[in-house]
Amino acid sequence: MAVSSPAQDCPPHLFSRDRAAGTLALMLGVGSHAINGFVTTAVLPDIIRDLGGQDRAFWVFSSFEMMAILAGCLTGAVKVRFGARLPFLLATSLLAFGSTLAGLSGSLEGLIAGRAFQGFGEGMIIALCYGLIPDLFPNHVAPRVFALLSGVWALAAGIGPVSAGLLSELWSWRAAFLVNIPLVLLLFVLMNTALPAGSAVARSGHKPEQSTGSNRIALRLLLLITSIYLLTVIGEAQTPVRLALTILAGLLAATILLKIDANSIRRLFPRQAFRLETLIGLGTWIVFLTSVVAAVRAIFVTTFGQVYWDMSVTEASYVAAGLAFSWTAFSWVSARAPSRKRELTYLVTGPVLIAIGMAMTGYSLETRSLILFALAAIVAGAGHGLSSQILMRSLMYTAKGQEQNLVSSILPTISSAGIAIGGGLTGLIAIQTGLITPGAETLLTKAAIAQSGALVFYTNAFLMLVPASAMMILRRRLILVESRDVKADRA
């Protein structure tokens, strides 16, 4: 795959003088996003005991996710127009302000507002981190970058709950938010050192795209906010009909948004996003659908461990974290693939392993096998690790010009949106199968898990066959595109 990058003349080591600041900044940016999620989950009981508002606890997470997705959708276009330094200044400022507001808040409403500012800042940061990978690293170095970042996620999964507990015991839950402030300052210094100056269009040498379309920015922002709101409040729906209608309304708003955006002068999304006939479009669908299916693990695995096997919160968290550790290990396997042919083999193998991991989880619930339950997380993690970075890298480096900025920045946001929608879809499946009874005092019981838990995971294993099949089509398209690029380079 022929790739143009300003970093091609640099030595390949990630921590060489030319790359150290950028590598450390990406690690800190991704790590901050990951740890914030784990830490907030761990200290939520202390927050509710101190501030009250158990009926509004949902918004501690939803306000963050809603604003993070909104920021991620806007970041690619902002980076194209202004470069990365100005957005990073805004993002780090919002994250610092939100962390301070949440950490010092005397009410749950104030904490929710702080989480919203945190979410917008973190959403921009994670989108910028992935958007900067093609700017800072050539294609042949990128596999090691993705493997390193997956290691950061695994480390966050390992130390997040423990660090939150220590901070809470040594001071209070407020420390979990206030600790962000020195980290944000360090992140800004590193990014200011590593970031290329100027806008993405100016640096690339590509002329700005000419379009005869209109802008309609107000309409697009309205549709964007509407779709994000609907798709992140799915968890508040109390009946299957309301849940289904909320999902459909959110998807309809998103579909109209993409159609209008594709013909706009300054686009928010890649022109080919979600267009099945294109390589980028098919790839974005795979990222989205894989995240939709993966949501079931995020929602139920830790809770199943506690309820079904009487594990402590920490024990169940580390069983679930087996996925993150396995993801990291197999990301390094993927990064060391000896040839592009082997990479493409990993690409199509990964989704199959994810489906197998889902099915194994279902079988472990039928047989009450804790060992198989833990092993299933490792198998699913192996699937993600083998294929995820190859998929994202292929999409990033196939896109050209300002499309590369839009594709690179939007991929983590598509994943977050998929998890949000997947949470709603999983809830709908759980209600229909009897795993969850709306209005019940207890969310899950051993009897309900024994009766319906396996079916929920078998259903998601079956759904995972859709992106697995699409990945095989994507593999063929990648081979054709890369063969064509090689012939063009030789000519």
Q: What is the pLDDT of residues 39-73, one digit of tens each?
A: 776 677 778 778 877 667 778 888 888 899 999 99
C-alpha distances out from residue 87 to 18, 22, 103, 131, 441, Å:
22, 16, 24, 12, 45
Residue with the larger pLDDT of the pair 341 and 232 = 341
Give one word for 256, left, alpha or beta, with left for phi > 0 and alpha for psi -120 to 50: alpha
C-beta separation of 72 from 127 below 8 A: yes
Please give the pLDDT value at position 131: 87
Residue 10 has pLDDT above 50, yes or no: no
First to last CA, the chain: 15
Please give the pLDDT value at position 198: 53
Structural tokens at position 352 = 């199959």
Q: Name the class of domain 271-485.
A: mainly alpha
Residue with the larger pLDDT of the pair 68 and 201 = 68
Please give the pLDDT value at position 169: 64
C-alpha span between 262 and 222 (Å, rounded): 16
C-beta separation of 157 from 34 below 8 A: yes
Q: What is the pLDDT of residues 96-134, one digit of tens each?
A: 999 999 989 888 899 999 999 999 999 999 998 888 888
| Polymer length in residues for the chain | 491
Q: What is the pLDDT of residues 298-339, one digit of tens each?
A: 888 888 888 899 887 667 877 887 888 898 899 999 988 999
Residue 214 has pLDDT above 90, yes or no: no
Mention every residue, 6+ apart, whose C-beta is less than 8 A from residue 339: none
Mention every residue, 6+ apart, whose C-beta is less than 8 A from residue 461: 355, 356, 358, 359, 362
Residue with the larger pLDDT of the pair 239 and 338 = 338
C-alpha span between 229 and 217 (Å, rounded): 18
Q: What is the pLDDT of residues 24-34, one digit of tens each?
A: 888 888 888 77
pLDDT above 70: percentage of residues in the chain: 86
Q: Which of 392, 80, 88 is nearest to 206 (CA)?
A: 80
Task: State the residue for tokens 């600041």.
Answer: 21
- 15-195 matches 271-485 in fold: yes
Task: State the residue for tokens 């309304």.
Answer: 249
C-beta separation of 411 from 287 below 8 A: yes
4 — pLDDT class (breaks 50, 70, 90):
very low
Would you call 87 exposed, middle or buried from its count of C-beta atoms within 10 A (0-12, 13-18, 19+)?
buried
185 — pLDDT class (breaks 50, 70, 90):
confident
C-alpha span between 381 and 333 (Å, rounded): 12
Q: What is the CATH number of domain 15-195?
A: 1.20.1250.20
Mention every residue, 6+ apart, whose C-beta is less than 8 A from residue 140: 12
Mean pLDDT of 255-265: 88
Give the Cα-Cα-Cα angle 483, 486, 488 (nearest 5 degrees). Answer: 110
Mean pLDDT of 355-376: 96
Residue 200 has pLDDT above 60, yes or no: no
Domain limits, the chain: 15-195, 214-264, 271-485
Which range is least confidently modeled, 72-86, 169-183, 263-277? 169-183
C-beta separation of 51 from 111 below 8 A: yes
362 — pLDDT class (breaks 50, 70, 90):
very high
